[in-house]
Structure 1
Amino acid sequence: MWSGSADAPPSTRIAMLAPSLQPTERRVAESIVADVEAAIERTAQEVADLVGVGRASVIRTAQSLGYEGYPQLRVALAREVSLTGTAATGTDGTMLGALRGAVDRFAARLPHTVSALTEAELDAFVTEIDGAQRLLVAANGLSSPLGIDLAMRLTSAGRPAEYMPDTLGQQIAAKHLGRGSACLVVSGSGANRASLDVVTEARASGARVLAITSFPRSPVAEAADVALIVAPVNDSFHDELVHTSRAALMLVTESVVGLLVARRGDSARAAQAATLSVLSRSLSE
């Protein structure tokens, strides 16, 4: 069941929940995404007949997405279509046109990436980072660069954070965290085996687990004490696997550090000033 922000549009909810929907519900959701305009015009029974499932499955799909029923889902779809408009697709046959089209599509979906977040979740997340005695950042696979970047940004802001590129090293560090510490896991899919092993060790040590991921019912998200769910910029879980992007996650991780700096005030700004003094000495003509 959808538990994110009520402002999140249907396409975002479907992209985030698709991996965890029941098979019949996933088929209904996929048919909606495949032709949103048609789905707006169809009744629940018409969708059921088209997909080859019972009407009850269509209703359950709408409810899993956080709507009272299919009529409410249709209204939300119509609203999303009216607000989104048509983005350029770069169909002139050139590489530059294709690049511009990709950028336009990304820009059109970017506001959706944070539509599932709530003020309470952000506040709780920043509070956990701020108060942890030790903070271990864990990230593997395509999310590894985000983990390195996040740990460096936090340290530069006066919030020391540890990051180890070796997956076994991350597990060992997590095992020694203990109560009062936190492990912050960045995982786009929320299902990376190495990251899950780190989560297991962190929880066993008594540490708090924080997560930044794209899917609310993923193992990492469900194991976390506090999770920020950043909707993928792609339209489906399949697209997330084939055309993986971590751009939205990177934007959120950078912004979270900014929120921490704002909360810490003068102490964080002093830490950043000290960091800049080091950087200035490393530059040459």
Structure 2
Amino acid sequence: MSPREAEPPPDNPGDVLERIRERLPRLTAGESRIAQYIAEQPEQALLMSAVQIGETLGASDMTVLRTARALGYTGWPELRRALGSHLALTVHPATRLSTRLTVTRRESHASLLDIVFEEARERLATSRASLDAEEFTRAVRLVGDAATVHVFGVGVSSVSAEYLTVKLLREGVLARHAKSMGFAFADALLALRPGDLLVAFAPGREFSELDVAFAEAQRLGASTLLFTDKYRDAYVDRVDCVIRTASSAGGLTGENLPAMVAADALVLALGHVDPEGALASSRRLNKLRRALRRRPGSTKGDAGAAAGTEPRP
């Protein structure tokens, strides 16, 4: 294995285009053509597979793979995600959408299905590879030890926050969903107490709500858990535990996908920590659901029978 191939992948890829400029003189002729195409057409390259780039430039997908490794990445998928993280900060969302529609417009509906599902598969595989087992165990312990778990999500990530809140409640964990942003977020923070856990889902960019939330948690002695993008480090030095997941390279799959899968794994692990508590909560949930199946206007005795209890004499 050559020294270049043995180079470990970066923890934070930074500016992909700057990396291409720095390493371009050291690339082979074939690698140079591919790197220049990425630098000149980053939005288009972001939405293409290694095979598609190779076909566009008259090269093989293996040449694309070697180019990615020569630039310090493990392969084309990691280079794409790093490029996507960079463009998300530098290119207007409307421009990215226009490019996405232009690049994919010639594809059949069946091909679009393949493209989206392939990106989802890549994101989940990358997220699993980047999840540290010890950090995950720490996250499980933080949730299990918390008096109350307060869950917050920035923007679209509020969906992940609500999802985790419901899953925790079903496991018998006292959890609250902080839904608001802006001034209304202060009301949610009033419920935070020492011994609680604040869980935040955030892409990694800085938000005043996260600044205030993490500072308040530290002041009170509450623990903190952050779900964030693999390549973002804005808050990692201000929280007790970080779960990193891969963002979408081309914006083809939802922001919440890998974070919600990681949340599922977290809840499953909690069930193993306290199986009796999880089973008791499940029985109570099903009992309440049976009671809710009764016809509106039926008697209390009917409701009791539906819930699995006998009516009082």
Shorter chain as normaliser: what TM range?
0.5 to 0.7
Q: 2:127 matched to 1:117? A: no
Q: How does 1:191-270 map to 2 (within 5 A)?
A: 191-215=206-230, 217-232=232-247, 234-235=248-249, 239=250, 244-270=254-280
Q: C-alpha distance in 2, partners of 1:281/1:220?
A: 45
State which of 163, 166, 181 in structure 2 corresponds to 1:149: 163
Q: What are the ranges of 5 or more consecutive residues in structure 2 without an aligned counterpart?
A: 1-7, 24-33, 39-44, 51-60, 80-102, 296-313
Q: C-alpha distance in 1, partners of 2:20/2:222?
A: 35
Q: 2:285 matched to 1:275? A: yes
CA shift in 2, pair 1:31/1:171, >3 Å: farther
**Is contact 1:187–1:213 with CA below 8 Å preserved after alignment?**
yes
Which shows bigger deviation, 271-280 or 155-164?
A: 271-280
State which of 110, 127, 151 in structure 2 corresponds to 1:137: 151
Q: CA RMSD in A?
A: 3.8
Q: 2:202 matched to 1:187? A: yes
Q: Secondary structure at the match of 1:136?
A: strand
Q: What are the ranges of 5 or more consecutive residues in structure 1 without an aligned counterpart?
A: 1-8, 48-57, 63-72, 82-88
Q: Secondary structure at the match of 1:137?
A: strand
TM-score (norm 1): 0.67
TM-score (norm 2): 0.61
Q: Secondary structure at the match of 1:179?
A: coil
The number of aligned residues is 233
| Code of the aligned partner of 1:122 | F
Which shows bigger deviation, 172-181 or 160-169?
A: 172-181
Give per-residue Cα distances to partners, 1:114-154, cap 9 Å, x unaligned. Answer: 21112211110000000012221111201011111111110
Q: Which residue in 1 is equivalent to 2:174?
A: 160
Q: C-alpha distance in 2, partners of 1:28/1:246?
A: 34
CA shift in 2, pair 1:136/1:94, >3 Å: same
**Is contact 1:176–1:205 with CA below 8 Å preserved after alignment?**
no
| Code of the aligned partner of 1:275 | L
| Code of the aligned partner of 2:286 | L
**Is contact 1:90–1:101 with CA below 8 Å preserved after alignment?**
no
Give the fraction of aligned pairs with identical amino acids, expressed as a percent. Answer: 16
**Is contact 1:175–1:205 with CA below 8 Å preserved after alignment?**
no
Give per-residue Cα distances to partners, 1:199-224, cap 9 Å, x unaligned. Answer: 23222322111111113543233321
Q: C-alpha distance in 2, partners of 1:39/1:227?
A: 32
| Code of the aligned partner of 2:290 | S
**Is contact 2:194–2:222 with CA below 8 Å preserved after alignment?**
yes
